Amino acid sequence: MGISINRRRFIQASSAVAVSALTAPAGRLSAQTAGQLRVLTYGGQVGKQVIDAYVTPFEAETGIEVIPITQDFEFPQLELMQKSNSITVDVGPMGHGAALQAVKKGYLEKIDYSLFKKEDVEGLLPNVKQDFGVGFIFYSLNLVYNTKKYPAGKPRPSNWPEFWDVKKYPGVRYMVSGQYGNEGPWEEALLADGVSRDKIYPMDIDRVFASLDKIKPHIRKWWTSGSEIQQLMLSGSGDLMQSYDGRAVYSIAQGAPLEMSRHQAKLTCDYWVIPKNSPNAHNAQKFIAFVTRAENQAAFAKLYPEGPTNKNAFKLLPEEIGRSLPSHPSNVEQALLLNGDWYMEVGSDGLSNMQRLAQRWSDWVLR
């Protein structure tokens, strides 16, 4: 996953549109015009859906030619662009942790909110409106259980203290690895240990690992990618799992005997960002304002089951679809909003909390 909180969910399995602008010859990329925009859209099916919901309508409205790049946007790519003075992406989605690191390096343009409609700015959910970027989609890590192991009429786990209760809820367990530091079972361990959602941050790292010590013997596998947990869920080998909500929704749609709890879900979002010195920065600003509109986010949500960052989009969605998305008000009330700023805080030892967690994990998981 590298620096960013990555999208390892089902939509990365295949690429419907393959465009290799990131590695295209410098001569062609430098021949940009004021009427062009290079948009990174993620890989796989989600890239196609970004094109359908955002890119094509944006082109039609503005007349700006958009070159879609169906790849993920990681911090090392951005840093290479800046150091080589070859900006090959004008705008793209990036995880909070990676974006904050980019801000510290001076690699991102500030967002021009004067281009936004007033109602769209007012509709942005908490933590979405930042100087460095605007929230793209909300997604979450959730508790998932096997309905054959825990059938209707019998107790079913719905929160992390119950996930930790191996006597009441015996079974095969899978959880996300903490190898990268910025994504791991940290908040879940504290919730399982009785910490309330409003007291999670700043995280007590010693308490995190003391709680993980209790569940460690019962975890069959610490998964490292969305495709891996999806495969495990579809195989039917797990009874209690931690999974991306998109992967779980997909697995359930494929007939897996699973149910997902929105209670105590860990909610986070990726951000649309503009690399510093983008030759098409003004067009990129227009694009971000366009994709933040409520009607456009509603259109995207109908194609891809993750949460709008503009709450007004829910007014334009059928109730059934809206309630299935992680950022619906009823789901946000039950969720924990991940604090990306805390992960990037640097202590007196020169390490960020993210780095500290990664180091601690590498020692702990081998014991």
Window from 16-25, 179-188, 316-325, 349-358 with minimum mean pLDDT = 16-25
pLDDT in tens, 44-78: 767 888 999 999 999 999 999 999 998 878 889 99
Task: Label each residue of 81-118 as H, E or C.
Answer: HHHHCCCCCCEEEEEHHHHHHHHHHCCECCCCHHHCCH
> For 266, left (φ over 0), alpha (ψ -120 to 50), or beta?
beta
Between CA 179 and CA 171 the distance in angstroms is 24
Instruction: Please state, in angstroms and rounded to a whole number, the distance separating the CA atoms of residues 71 and 306.
Output: 18
> pLDDT digit string (tens) for 280-317?
999 999 999 999 999 999 999 999 888 999 999 999 99
Query: b/e map of 183-194 (b: 16 or more CB within 10 Å)?
Result: bbbbbbbbbbbe
Token pair 């951005």: residue: 78
Q: What is the pLDDT of residues 224-250, one digit of tens each?
A: 988 899 999 999 999 999 999 988 988
Taking the alpha carbons at both ends of the chain, their separation in whole angstroms is 23
Whether the model pTM is above 0.95: no
DSSP code of residue 190: H
